[in-house]
Chains A and B, each alone.
Chain A
Amino acid sequence: MTGAAPLPLIEAVDLTRAFGGLVAVNKVSLAVHTGEIVGLIGPNGAGKTTMFNMLAGSLAPSAGTIAFEGRDVTRAPAHERARLGIARTFQITSVFPMLTTRDNIRTATYRTRGAGWLASTFRTAAWRRDEAAIDAVADEVLAFCDLAAQADIRADALSYGEQRRLEVAIALAAAPRLLLLDEPAAGLNPEEGQRLVGIIRKVRDRGVTVLLVEHHMRVVMGVCDRIVVLDHGARIAEGTPQEVAGNADVVRVYLGREQAHA
């Protein structure tokens, strides 16, 4: 990499994680630049989820460093990374089940907006302004993620596809710089999957950079600018979707297998 290259939004260097004797991720380096949609793919057990969790802060690396906008966050807990502007979704659908869709999104504005308890007790002007701003954010994000009709329904009563969209909505309401998506299309039917891909594509227009861990090849190929391929905890390829699809190693470890199944 040349010295003139712009500072990556997030950069992992030689990230390693061992579980006992098993090295799930072995010296993987990865950089995502502002405005990109990057996909992280690999067959089952390749270390995608381990890598994702280290970037999101829910798993501590055994070795290596992570920098966000040039600032070391290797040891920062999840909530501190979130405060810097990293939002994430979860592989297993994760919402606030007993709250309505709208309240889920309102809650997610925690990082940037909202007056504290004293302000709400005395109903100060700042509090009223903030609540109105939060309502506006909620309305905008609800529309953005096609959830306006479900606004007042409790999250646990939403359909699976709606819940997955709500996850993205929650992450977006946090106004992140970087959005980490953990298998967002998992378990979705093709139609719902396409709807989600449409939303992810629009996310970039909001100035949000996306790193996507995915198993569905169609999703990754359709939406990503650049793809990083992992196998057995190591990085085996990187490039545009076309380059990766044409890479012999990738075809061997991954695509070939998928095509064989399809």
Chain B
Amino acid sequence: MIRKALPFAAALVLALLPLGTQSTYLHHVMVLWMLYALLALSLNVIIGYLGELSFGHAAFFGLGAYASAILTMQTGVPVWLALIAAGLVAGLFGFVIGYVSLRIVGPQFAILTLGFGSIIYTVTNYWDDLTRGPMGINNIPPVTVPGVGPLGEARDYYFVVVACVLAFAYACHALMRSRTGRAFLAVRENAPLAASLGIDVFRTKLLGFVAATVVAGIAGGLYAHYLRVITPELMSLQYMAALIIMVVVGGRGTVVGPILGALIYVVLLEVLRAFGPLRLIVFAALLTGSVIFVPHGLVSLWRPWRRRADPAIRPEPAP
């Protein structure tokens, strides 16, 4: 009973969180948390469910951000349409890159994604005519909700982004209870055995990879229209690493883990702001410590949760 009610209660608290404070600063931090949570959840599909490491995920976030910003500013399409386009653009790149790389597994795949991510970052940095290079794009129009008008405050954005996070988190949860989701885990656990059961390993991986990049693109679009300024730095190696930290520290293969990981990242980023680039050392230490001491992420510390939740969460062997 409690176990069934808990996810709903958590979702409700998350949805109403900004009502607990008047501070626009805290609202801002909450929006960033949700944006990163959406991104981390999408990366979790690749790392947690498919079991492949991708270093290039921030590039798809950036592609979405740039696609949405450029589309709205140069063609005047409404923001909601541009957000869909952002997902499609990122997904198209995801399809091409995935099609080329996903036949390769393990560290080689991770390095390929790093290569593709770096190419996208570099092109964005130097294609001045389209992206304005390292200067970035500013004055990006805000999200406009039909019937409400343009969103002005961080709190309003929070409700939009949290809706996306909750919808996608539920979609992931549902995925793990479907034939498709079981195929994802089968591919992660044992690809030859998966193939022997009729699962097309390559197509399953491509499906998960493209879905993850579409969501990353939408997250990027939301980010662009929220901050209204973007630079190529959001595709840099620092962000790619940060995303992996969120997923691994929080708990890969779970729905709660990446959301928790994003919270830890955003809070640390703010708390340690005074330390400047030294923060990176803290993040690296966090990742190292987490891999050694809680290899299945912080969510694995909460035992009752993992006993009978997602099949993707690894239950402990019985004594």
Using a CB–CB cutoff of 8 Å, the interface residues on chain A facing chain B are 56, 58, 77-80, 82-83, 87-88, 90, 94-100, 103, 106-108, 110-111, 113-117, 119-121, 123, 127, 130-131, 152-154, 156-157, 170-171, 174
Q: A152-B315, A157-B317 are known contacts. Are A96 and B185 too (CB-CB below 8 A)? A: yes
Knowing that A78-B195, A79-B200, A107-B182 touch, tell me 13 more A-B residue pairs with CB under 8 angstroms. Answer: A56-B196, A96-B193, A106-B311, A111-B198, A114-B179, A114-B182, A115-B179, A116-B178, A117-B171, A120-B175, A123-B174, A130-B179, A152-B315
1/0 per position for B177-200, CB-CB distance to A under 8 A?
Answer: 111111101100110110111111
Q: Can you name 24 A-B residue pairings with CB atoms under 8 Å?
A: A78-B192, A78-B196, A79-B195, A79-B199, A90-B193, A96-B189, A103-B311, A106-B182, A107-B185, A110-B199, A114-B178, A115-B178, A116-B180, A117-B175, A120-B175, A121-B171, A121-B174, A123-B174, A152-B318, A153-B318, A154-B315, A156-B317, A170-B193, A171-B196
| Separation of A114 and B190 alpha carbons in the complex (Å) | 20
Tell whether B316 is near chain A: CB-to-CB under 8 Å: yes
Q: A97-B189, A120-B175, A121-B170 are known contacts. Are A82 and B196 too (CB-CB below 8 A)? A: yes
Smallest beta-carbon distance B50→chain A, Å: 14
| Separation of A199 and B204 alpha carbons in the complex (Å) | 32
* Chain A residues in 8 Å Cβ range of B175: 117, 120-121
> Which residue of chain B has its CB nearest to the CB of A103?
B311
- Contact (Cβ within 8 A) B201 A79: yes
The size bracket of the interface on B is: 20 to 34
| Separation of A78 and B198 alpha carbons in the complex (Å) | 7
- Contact (Cβ within 8 A) A99 B193: no
Output the residue of A80, A97, A108 with the most chain B CB within 10 A: A108
Smallest beta-carbon distance A148→chain B, Å: 14
* Chain B residues in 8 Å Cβ range of A82: 195-199
| Separation of A130 and B200 alpha carbons in the complex (Å) | 21
* Chain B residues in 8 Å Cβ range of A170: 193, 197
Tell whether B314 is near chain A: CB-to-CB under 8 Å: yes
Smallest beta-carbon distance A113→chain B, Å: 7
Using a CB–CB cutoff of 8 Å, the interface residues on chain B facing chain A are 170-171, 174-175, 177-183, 185-186, 189-190, 192-193, 195-201, 311, 314-318
> Which residue of chain B has its CB nearest to the CB of A96?
B189
Smallest beta-carbon distance A178→chain B, Å: 12
| Separation of A115 and B174 alpha carbons in the complex (Å) | 11
- Contact (Cβ within 8 A) A174 B198: yes
Smallest beta-carbon distance B280→chain A, Å: 32
| Separation of A162 and B239 alpha carbons in the complex (Å) | 45
- Contact (Cβ within 8 A) B314 A98: yes
- Contact (Cβ within 8 A) A110 B197: yes
| Separation of A171 and B186 alpha carbons in the complex (Å) | 14
* Chain A residues in 8 Å Cβ range of B316: 154
> Which residue of chain B has its CB nearest to the CB of A102?
B311
* Chain B residues in 8 Å Cβ range of A130: 179
Output the residue of B193, B196, B199, B200 with the most chain A CB within 10 A: B196
Q: A116-B178, A157-B318 are known contacts. Are A110 and B198 too (CB-CB below 8 A)? A: yes
- Contact (Cβ within 8 A) A87 B197: yes
| Separation of A56 and B193 alpha carbons in the complex (Å) | 11
- Contact (Cβ within 8 A) B197 A174: yes
* Nearest 10 pairs of A and B residues by beta carbon: A114-B179, A157-B317, A120-B178, A96-B189, A82-B198, A111-B198, A121-B174, A83-B198, A78-B195, A120-B174
| Separation of A131 and B170 alpha carbons in the complex (Å) | 18
Q: A87-B197, A154-B315, A174-B197 are known contacts. Are A96 and B186 too (CB-CB below 8 A)? A: yes
Output the residue of B174, B178, B192 with the most chain A CB within 10 A: B178
| Separation of A238 and B22 alpha carbons in the complex (Å) | 84
> Which residue of chain B has its CB nearest to the CB of A89?
B196
* Chain B residues in 8 Å Cβ range of A108: 197
| Separation of A78 and B181 alpha carbons in the complex (Å) | 20
- Contact (Cβ within 8 A) A99 B311: yes
| Separation of A100 and B318 alpha carbons in the complex (Å) | 10
- Contact (Cβ within 8 A) B178 A127: yes
* Chain B residues in 8 Å Cβ range of A88: 196
| Separation of A106 and B311 alpha carbons in the complex (Å) | 11
Q: B180 contacts which of A56, A117, A157 (Cβ < 8 Å)?
A: A117
| Separation of A75 and B100 alpha carbons in the complex (Å) | 22
- Contact (Cβ within 8 A) B177 A131: yes
| Separation of A99 and B169 alpha carbons in the complex (Å) | 21
- Contact (Cβ within 8 A) B315 A107: no
Smallest beta-carbon distance A240→chain B, Å: 30
| Separation of A13 and B308 alpha carbons in the complex (Å) | 50
* Chain B residues in 8 Å Cβ range of A154: 314-317
Smallest beta-carbon distance A151→chain B, Å: 10
| Separation of A239 and B193 alpha carbons in the complex (Å) | 32
Output the residue of B177, B179, B183 with the most chain A CB within 10 A: B179
> Which residue of chain B has its CB nearest to the CB of A58?
B192
* Chain B residues in 8 Å Cβ range of A95: 190, 193
* Chain A residues in 8 Å Cβ range of B318: 152-153, 157
> Which residue of chain B has its CB nearest to the CB of A127?
B178
| Separation of A97 and B181 alpha carbons in the complex (Å) | 17
| Separation of A127 and B190 alpha carbons in the complex (Å) | 25
* Chain A residues in 8 Å Cβ range of B182: 103, 106-107, 110, 114
